[in-house]
Every structure is written in structure tokens, then in C-alpha cells.
């Protein structure tokens, strides 16, 4: 009897020890975050830590790769190779993300990965998502952030490489449409998109601590740190030549605000400051961002940013790893060749070229964001949020955003004879121009692909032509001719014409432009139509472009920027259902010879000044 009792006590004691051994503080959401981070850090090997610092592209990811290399993050670059399939459904995205996550969860410590994507004007790589206007024209920012977060979560993704808080000082820059304004005060205001994406940071929170609030929110990424919008002659990935006072007064204010609002991550820029690559700038990344501003989230490189530290690209990868690690970058957007990075960094740490303390700083920051996001408690996505992708509520919000971003630059050849609003009841009207019936052109770059696409079968949406047909009286005869001759226009006796022309889609370096002209047949269409009939020209562009040669010919001129999928926002204002209220957040130059030219410059002589915009009543 006593022997049996002793045996039973021993078995229970062993079982209790096993249960206690299975208790990990880092898995306990009741534990303080710093306790969880510390507990997990002490359990991690070097290989597991370096895995956490590695972000790979979907095209090279798999359940097995996640497990073998302890990969901390996966991304989808904006190319078809990085999507689950063409026109993939939200469920297909969720299933893909969850498969990679299950690989991460099956590792020794079960650290969940974080999946990231470029959601820069809505969930722009996903079929049938709501595409909002690009930043160049935005106004209702917080609501757009909240809607974007829901659509990203609808596909199982929880991290967006947005917002871009660049201050574009030269429209020749190919990314100018990703910038809210040339004015740092406006860009600073637009950081309101961050609480839209992440949720409102709780009262009393410590400055710099990342915050992501609940299952309807995602981690944001303020980019590109620092000065990417101020490069010499607007050259993408170029050199920002400016003194410290200028850098900190123009390009830094929005980062102060982002950090106060709890932004989870910050992305370094491809560009340089006075010849020093931002990916190697220890002063700005570690000394200022981390130590002075107390940023506690993680710093991520831009895509293959390591490779671009050297010229030619990838010329000295060992140097690039050392320089970027010592600068203070925490997570590396490697993309494809991740084993080279992992092997290289492992060797450099083991040989003490990079201190272990630097690795630990990076991993602690990454884990802090993951704990904040609730990834350890809820690592897998379900289908419950699929309904939010492309929802009517979000399309209505996008339509509202479009009409608020429109800027009326001219209305009538004389001020006492305005052309707008246009009458809905007319005998016959003409709609012309390369951009009138092209959803891809209307959305611009970063839409179902990096450089954008042409055509109307790319995603769900409403072209401006379709919107015109919906807006006018059913008895009004709408004629569409993309590039009509002058004789055609004269012979048809139109009541008026709507001409929609602009830039072709582009992104990043491919958008660099020295002349900023509207490509043909845009100018020919304006000449042929507006020379023969009363016309309003609607410009679909990512920035101010050369229009002075055509202004006299045109009766009314509207800057519609890159409005996205909801073309009815344009016709809402054209036909007077809503008034024009938009004001220029960018200076509209007369000639490219004036560039760079920003409000406050001594040589300021614009065609349309910063803050200009004619008003109409609904």
C-alpha cells in the first residue's frame, strides 16, 4: 500500500515537472511584453535569430523553407510571380499565407512569421480590391487607412509597406505620386493614415512603442527614411543634397508624428544623404531614430536594399551586410537569395565582425512588433473577413476620396461664363481621350502589378466613360471616340466634350521624367476636340505636367491625379452633384526649366500656385 502510494506521488511529481517544463513565459499573453521578449530571446539560437531578421519573397517561400531557416517574414512583391494565382480570391491568399505560417509554427519555438505587402493605395495587388486615389491627391486619409486595413486582413495579410511619407520636392521624381505634398506640414498631417491602419495608440503609451490594435488592424510602415523626395533633379534612388537643418525641417517632421502615433516599422530609403547611402547611415538610423526619437519598432530595408549599397549592385555583399547591420537595420527585405544573406550574416557574427548585441537589438524589436500584433495568440487567418475586400462601403469611400481630391484649375474662358458644372441634359456629347475608358490608366502604377497595366479587365471598377454614361440623362447621346479628328468633332455638333488624357502608368525609376509632357495622342486629342467644341479636359497624372501650351484652348481644366477604381467620383463633380473643393498640395509649374520650384522659393513663379483650386457649388 505505502509502496503504491509512494509510486503514485512520484508519478504525479514527474507529471507536474513536465507540465511546468512546458510552460513558456513568452507564450503567455498575461505576462508583460518585455518578460515575454526576454524569455524567448534566451531560448533562441543564432540561427533562429538570423532567421527572424530575414524577409523572403513568396516565390521562394514554402512551408519547408520557413521551417528549415526559421524565416521571420514573407512578402509579396508587386509582380504575378508573387501572387497565389492570376485573379486570386481572398481565400486563395489566406490559404497561401496560412501554409507558410504553419511552417513557422512547426519550428522548435513556434515563432510566427509576419506577411507583408505593398498596399499603397488600397490593397492594390489583389483582384477586385478597392483602389483608392494615389497619395498625390488624398484627403480623407484616416478612413482610407481603416478601409485598407480591413481589405488587407481580408486576405490574411497583416503588414503593409505604407504609408509613404516622402516630401516630393521635384515632380520629375518617378515616385512623386506616392507623396502627399511638397509641404512638410501637409505630409505630417497625413500621418493620420497610421492610426487608420493600426488603430489609435492607447492614452499614456510610451513614445516610440509600436501599437497594432486588434483583428481589424495591420502593422504599418513609414517610408522611405529619409529624404527620398528631395533627391537632386528628382532622380529616383539618387542623392539628397541638403544641410542638416533642411533635412530635419523638410523631411523629418512626418517621422516624428509617425513615431508618436505608434508606427510599427520604418523602411530605409534607397537614396543617399550628401553621398551617404541611407542603408548605411548609422547617425540617422541608430543615433537619431532609435536613440534620440526612441523608436522601439523595427527598421526594415527596402527590397534588395543591401545589394544597392554598392556600385555596381551586389559588388561586395559582405561589406553591405556589415555596413547595414552596423547602421541599425533590423529586418532585411532580401527577396530571393536568402541563403547568401543568412550564411553571410552568420559567418560575420561568429567571427565577431558584427557584435551579438546588434543581432539581439534587431530580434527584440521584431519580436516586440509580433507580440504587439497578437501573432502569437492568433497566428492563422480565417475566412471571416473576406467580405471586406472591395466592399460597397469601401467603394463609396473611394468615390468620396476621388471627388475631394479633384482640383479645378480653370472654369470657362472668362470668369463670368463658367463651363462647369456640365448639364446632364444635352442632345449629344463627346467623350474622348486615351484615359477615358481605361481602368488601368486611371489607377496608375502599383496596381495589379508594379508598373501598372492598361485595360479594363484588370480588376473591378468604373471608368470615367462608364461614369459619364451613368451620370447623364438617359436621353443624352454619349459618343465615345478615343482620338477623333477635328473634322469629326466639327461635323457632329456636340453640345460639349469631355477629354480625358494623361500619363501612362509607371512606378519608381521608370517614372523619372525630364520633360513632364503628356504623351501623344493626348496633346493631339486636346487640339482636335477643344479647337472645335466647348471642352473640359480631365488630367490623369501622378504630378503636375506641362499644360501651359493648351490652357488657352481649353474651356475647363481638372486635375484628377490618379483616382483609382471609382471613376464616378470624377463625374460627381463634373456634373454638379458635388462641388469642386480641392486645393493644390503641389505647385503647378509653367515650364520644367523652373524646377525644382516649391512654395516659399525666391524664384516662385507658378502657373497655378500651391493652395490654388477653384470652387463650385453642388
Q: What residues are labeled active site?
A: 302, 508
Burial class (CB in 10 A: 0-12, 13-18, 19+), 403: buried
CA dihedral 136→142→144→148, nearest 10 degrees, is 120
Q: What's the CA gap between 313 and 308, in Å, rounded?
A: 5
Q: What CA–CA distance (Å, rounded) separates 263 from 251?
A: 17
Helices (H) and strands (E) in the chain, counts: 21, 17
Count the neighbouring beta carbons within 10 Å of the beta carbon of residue 246: 14
The answer to whether 385 and 150 are in contact (CB under 8 A) is: yes
Compute the distance between CA of residue 74 and CA of residue 173 in angstroms, rounded to an integer: 29
Q: How is residue 150 written as a grid cell?
A: 480591413
d(CA 208, CA 256): 9
Is the Cβ–Cβ distance between 559 and 599 less than 8 Å? no
CB 272 within 8 A of CB 232: no
Report whether the peptide linkage leading into residue 596 is cis, meaning its omega lies within 30 degrees of zero: yes
Contact 77, 57 (CB under 8 A): yes
What the block records as the C-alpha cell of 49 is 535569430
Round to whole Å and give the CA distance between 113 and 289.
25
388 phi and psi, to 5 degrees?
Answer: -80, -20
DSSP 237-261: T-EE---HHHIIIIISHHHHHHHHT
Task: Identify whether the C-beta of residue 389 lies closer than 8 Å to the C-beta of residue 542.
Answer: no
Q: Are 284 and 273 in contact (CB under 8 A)?
A: yes
φ, ψ for residue 354, nearest 5 deg:
-125, 125
Residue 1 burial (10 A CB sphere; 0-12, 13-18, 19+): exposed
Q: Residue 554 corresponds to which cell in the numbers above?
A: 481649353
Q: CA nearest 451: which of 231, 222, 174?
A: 174
Amino acid at each position: 500500500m505505502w509502496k503504491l502510494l509512494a509510486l503514485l506521488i512520484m508519478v504525479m511529481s514527474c507529471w507536474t515537472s513536465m507540465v511546468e517544463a512546458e510552460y513558456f513565459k513568452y507564450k503567455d499573453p498575461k505576462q508583460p511584453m518585455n518578460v515575454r521578449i526576454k524569455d524567448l530571446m534566451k531560448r533562441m539560437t543564432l540561427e533562429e535569430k538570423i532567421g527572424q531578421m530575414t524577409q523572403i519573397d513568396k516565390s521562394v517561400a514554402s512551408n519547408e523553407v520557413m521551417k528549415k531557416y526559421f524565416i521571420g517574414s514573407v512578402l509579396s512583391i508587386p509582380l504575378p510571380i508573387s501572387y497565389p494565382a492570376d485573379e486570386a480570391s481572398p481565400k486563395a491568399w489566406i490559404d497561401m499565407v496560412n501554409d507558410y505560417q504553419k511552417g513557422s509554427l512547426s519550428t522548435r519555438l513556434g515563432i510566427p512569421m509576419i506577411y507583408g505587402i505593398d498596399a499603397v493605395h488600397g490593397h492594390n495587388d489583389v483582384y477586385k480590391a478597392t483602389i483608392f486615389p494615389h497619395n498625390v491627391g488624398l484627403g480623407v486619409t484616416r478612413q482610407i487607412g481603416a478601409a485598407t486595413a480591413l481589405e488587407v486582413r481580408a486576405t490574411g495579410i497583416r503588414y503593409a509597406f505604407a504609408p509613404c511619407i516622402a516630401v516630393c520636392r521635384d515632380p520629375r521624381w518617378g515616385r512623386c505620386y506616392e507623396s502627399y505634398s511638397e509641404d512638410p506640414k501637409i505630409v505630417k498631417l497625413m500621418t493620420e493614415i497610421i492610426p487608420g491602419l493600426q488603430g489609435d495608440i492607447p492614452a499614456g503609451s510610451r513614445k516610440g512603442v509600436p501599437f497594432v490594435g486588434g483583428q481589424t488592424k495591420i502593422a504599418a510602415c513609414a517610408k522611405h527614411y529619409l529624404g527620398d523626395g528631395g533627391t537632386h533633379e528628382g532622380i529616383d534612388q539618387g542623392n539628397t543634397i541638403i544641410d542638416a537643418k533642411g533635412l530635419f525641417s523638410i523631411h523629418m517632421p512626418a517621422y516624428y508624428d509617425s513615431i508618436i502615433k505608434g508606427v510599427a516599422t520604418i523602411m530605409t530609403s534607397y537614396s543617399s544623404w550628401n553621398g551617404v547611402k541611407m542603408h548605411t547611415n548609422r547617425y540617422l538610423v541608430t543615433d537619431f531614430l532609435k536613440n534620440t526619437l526612441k523608436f522601439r519598432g523595427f527598421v526594415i530595408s527596402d527590397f534588395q536594399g543591401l545589394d544597392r549599397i554598392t556600385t555596381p549592385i551586389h559588388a561586395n555583399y559582405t561589406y553591405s551586410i556589415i555596413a547595414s547591420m552596423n547602421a541599425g537595420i533590423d529586418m532585411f527585405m532580401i527577396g530571393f537569395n536568402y541563403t547568401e544573406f543568412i550564411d553571410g550574416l552568420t559567418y560575420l557574427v561568429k567571427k565577431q565582425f558584427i557584435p551579438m548585441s546588434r543581432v539581439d537589438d534587431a530580434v527584440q524589436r521584431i519580436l516586440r512588433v509580433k507580440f504587439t500584433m497578437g501573432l502569437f495568440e492568433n497566428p492563422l487567418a480565417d475566412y471571416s473577413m473576406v467580405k471586406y475586400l472591395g466592399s460597397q462601403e469601401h467603394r463609396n469611400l473611394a468615390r468620396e476620396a476621388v471627388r475631394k481630391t479633384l482640383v479645378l484649375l480653370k472654369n470657362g474662358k472668362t470668369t463670368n461664363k463658367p463651363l462647369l458644372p456640365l448639364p446632364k441634359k444635352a442632345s449629344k456629347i463627346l467623350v474622348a481621350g486615351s484615359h477615358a475608358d481605361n481602368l488601368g490608366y486611371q489607377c496608375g502604377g502599383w496596381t495589379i502589378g508594379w508598373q501598372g497595366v492598361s485595360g479594363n479587365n484588370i480588376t473591378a471598377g468604373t471608368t470615367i466613360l462608364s461614369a459619364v454614361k451613368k451620370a447623364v440623362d438617359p436621353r443624352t447621346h454619349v459618343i465615345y471616340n478615343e482620338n477623333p479628328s477635328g473634322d469629326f468633332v466639327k461635323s457632329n455638333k456636340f453640345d460639349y466634350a469631355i477629354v480625358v488624357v494623361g500619363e501612362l502608368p509607371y512606378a519608381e525609376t521608370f517614372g523619372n521624367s525630364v520633360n513632364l509632357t503628356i504623351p501623344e495622342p493626348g496633346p493631339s486629342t486636346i487640339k482636335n476636340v477643344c479647337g472645335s467644341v466647348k471642352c473640359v479636359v480631365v488630367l490623369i497624372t501622378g504630378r503636375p505636367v506641362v499644360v501651359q501650351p493648351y490652357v488657352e484652348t481649353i474651356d475647363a481644366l481638372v486635375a484628377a491625379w490618379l483616382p483609382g477604381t471609382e471613376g464616378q467620383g470624377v463625374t460627381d463633380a463634373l456634373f454638379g452633384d458635388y462641388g469642386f473643393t480641392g486645393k493644390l498640395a503641389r505647385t503647378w509649374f509653367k515650364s520644367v526649366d523652373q524646377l525644382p520650384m516649391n512654395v516659399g522659393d525666391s524664384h516662385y513663379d507658378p502657373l497655378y500656385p500651391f493652395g490654388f483650386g477653384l470652387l463650385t457649388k453642388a
